[in-house]
Amino acid sequence: MIRRNSLQRLLDEVGPVDQAGIEERVSKYTTRSIKKSSKLFGLRLAVSMVDLTTLEGKDTPGKVASLCRKALRPHNAPDIPQVAAVCVYPSMVKHAAKHVKGTPVRIASVATAFPSGQAPLKTRLAEVRQAVADGADEIDMVINRGAFLMGELNLVQDEISAVLEACGDATLKVILETSELETYDHIRAASFLAMRVLRPGDFIKTSTGKTSANATLGNNQVMLDAIRDHFLATGNEIAMKPAGGIRTAKQALQFLIAVKETLGDGWLNNRRYRFGASALLNDLLRQLETQRTGAYQAPWAFSEDSSGY
């Protein structure tokens, strides 16, 4: 009972989320009409924000190499930017490093027994250190959802701090796994729990992409609101990464509208906002090519994304 109360105390402290209000608000984002130059701007921006991801048991160094080539040069057309980062498993970091080290494309690695996080802390920290030693610029960690739901908030926060220390200079992204937190109130509370120990420029991230429910406009909005409130209270700029389930350019533009209208232009760059996705990039390219050529493109006009290997 006492443990429940610690979660309750945090909820009281950070304030509740108006679920109906949030859903009403995000449903408005989907009705905006974005055309012509604004659309091109949004699409290019979204390309530059993609964390091009492959997280599968069947990943091989060869597959990671293709992913890196795609990240460095998403399409032949001129003026299409490079993506922000490639996101791979820790064992693949050294293979990715061969291709993207020294380029603007960063290497992100999921670590801490992704996606469940169910491994001893010692093992998780060792994984993080190894990934950073192999060349990872960014670490995507998962929080201990079981501990969070049990009310062991100090444990959750201490683990984040420990991983942060293991990261050294690498950027940390804290995956809340929103689908397992169940309510918007919990998502907001977990966001604050993480943000209070994060450095400016570190990320909070919605999901692993490995569960049925992934990033939605709703939980994205709750987390953006939390980032704004935290920024207004402390001046710390925390970055945001929705991941999983964002497959179409249209969705990406809707997420960008949410960023623009909640946090403003300061967050409309790939140091403050990212998309964790694999199939999204090709749809963005498809829309950009459609805008450029005037003809809707066939899927075979683009190199396969990592979901297609």
Partner 1 sequence: MLKITKTPKCYVGGAFIRSESGRVAPLTDNSGNFLCNIPLCTRKDVRNAVEAAAKAGAGWAKRTPYNRAQILYRLAEMLESRATEMAAVTSTREVRSTIDRMVHYAGWADKYEQVLGSVNPVATSHFNFTVTEPVGIVGILAPEDAPLLGLITLILPAITAGNSVVALASRECPYPAILLGEILAVSDLPGGVVNLITGDRADMLATFATHEHIRAIAAVADKADATALQQGAADSVKRVVIHPPATDWFSGKHETPYSIRDFTEAKTIWHPIGA
Clarify whether 241 is annotated catalytic: yes
Stretch that binds partner 1, among 102-110, 229-237, 270-278, 292-300 (CB under 8 A): 292-300
- 308 contacts partner 1 (rule: CB under 8 A): no
Give yes or no for a contact between 206 and 241, defined as CB atoms under 8 angstroms apart. yes
- The single-letter DSSP state of residue 80 is P
- 36 contacts partner 1 (rule: CB under 8 A): no
CB of 134 to partner 1, least distance (A): 39
**CB nearer partner 1, residue 210 or residue 247:** 247
Choose the catalytic residue: 205, 225, 283, 305. Answer: 205
- 299 contacts partner 1 (rule: CB under 8 A): yes
Choose the catalytic residue: 140, 202, 283, 305. Answer: 140
CB of 295 to partner 1, least distance (A): 4
- 296 contacts partner 1 (rule: CB under 8 A): yes
Stretch that binds partner 1, among 27-35, 131-139, 209-217, 297-305 (CB under 8 A): 297-305
Structure tokens at 55: 């997280």
**CB nearer partner 1, residue 59 or residue 289:** 289
CB of 299 to partner 1, least distance (A): 7
Q: Residue 239, Cβ neighbours under 10 Å: how many? A: 22
**CB nearer partner 1, residue 133 or residue 301:** 301
Number of residues that bind partner 1 (CB under 8 A): 7
Give yes or no for a contact between 143 and 106, defined as CB atoms under 8 angstroms apart. no
Choose the catalytic residue: 70, 94, 173, 241. Answer: 241
Query: According to DSSP H, which parts of the chain are helical?
Result: 2-14, 19-29, 36-48, 61-72, 93-100, 121-134, 145-150, 153-167, 184-195, 217-234, 249-262, 280-293
- 295 contacts partner 1 (rule: CB under 8 A): yes
Q: Phi and psi at residue 56, in whole multiples of 5°?
A: -135, 155
Which residues does 232 contact at the CB level (< 8 Å), separation at least 6? Answer: none
- How far is 281 from 44, CA to CA, in rounded Å? 10
CB of 19 to partner 1, least distance (A): 29
Q: Phi and psi at residue 184, in whole multiples of 5°?
A: -60, -35
- How far is 52 from 116, CA to CA, in rounded Å? 21
Strands 50-53 and 203-205: unpaired
CB of 269 to partner 1, least distance (A): 30
Clarify whether 205 is annotated catalytic: yes
**What binding mask, one character per residue, do residues 249-288 give for partner 1 by CB under 8 A, x or -?**
----------------------------------------
Clarify whether 70 is annotated catalytic: no
- How far is 285 from 294, CA to CA, in rounded Å? 13
Structure tokens at 127: 């994984």
Q: What are the residues binding partner 1 (CB under 8 A)?
A: 294-299, 301
What is the set of active-site residues? 140, 205, 241
